[in-house]
Amino acid sequence: MILILFVVVFLLLKQIIWENRYANDIGNDCLVSVDGTDFPLAWGSNDTRLYSHKFRRPGLRYEIALCLLTGDIVWSSGPHLPGLYNDLQIFRQELIHLLDDDERVEADDGYLGECPNKCKCPGGPDHLKNRERLNAIQRNRHETVNERFKNFGCMKNKFRHDIEKHGQCFNCVVLLTQLEIWEGAGLFPIRYDDMLDDFGAGLRI
C-alpha cells in the first residue's frame, strides 16, 4: 500500500504541473481558472466542519485550477473542510501566493474578496458585459472536469473511509483525468485574450 502511494504521488508530481499554465501564453494576466469542488461523505452528519453548503450534507472540498488556453489541470489541493473554509479562504491559504506579481485568475463571485487585484469575477468592478458568454464557457469547462471526477465511483458515491484515504483516491482520480486529457479526451480550448473585448470557445486563430 505504501509503495502504491509513493508511485501515485510520484506520477502526480510529474503530471499536474503548475508551470504548465504558461503553455501557449501570449502575455495574459489570467492564466488559469480556479474553483472548488465538493464530494460527499457517508459519515460526519453531526460535524459542522464537514457541512457542504453546495449539496447540504457532509463532504470534503478540493481546489482545482485549469490552464485557460489548454484546459490542462495544473493545480489541485485538499482535502479541505467545507464547513470551515470557503473557496476564497482556500485560495488565500496557498494558491494566491504562487501567482506572479501581476497575475490574476478567472473565478466566480465566491472570490470577489480578491477582485480585482488577484481575481477576475463576473461581479467585479472591471467586469465587461460582453465577456459574460466567455465567463460562462470557462465555468462550464470547470464543471466538465468536476463531472469527469465523478465518473469514478469513489468520488461520486458517499465515501465511507477516512479523510486520508479520500485524499489519496482524489489524487489518483485527478491524475487519471489529466492523463485522459493528454491521451485524446481533451477539454474544449478557449480563445482567451486580455486585449480583446470578447473571447470564446475554439482554437486560437
Strand partners, 59: 40
Helix axes 2-15, 163-182, angle to 10 degrees: 40
Buried b (16+ CB within 10 A) or exposed e, 118-136: bbbbbebeeeeeebeebbe
Considering just the CA atoms, what is the radius of gyration of the chain in Å? 17
More confident residue, 87 or 51: 87
The ranges assigned to domains in the chain are 2-201
pLDDT tens, position by position, 18-30: 999 998 888 888 8
Residue 203: pLDDT band (50, 70, 90) is very low
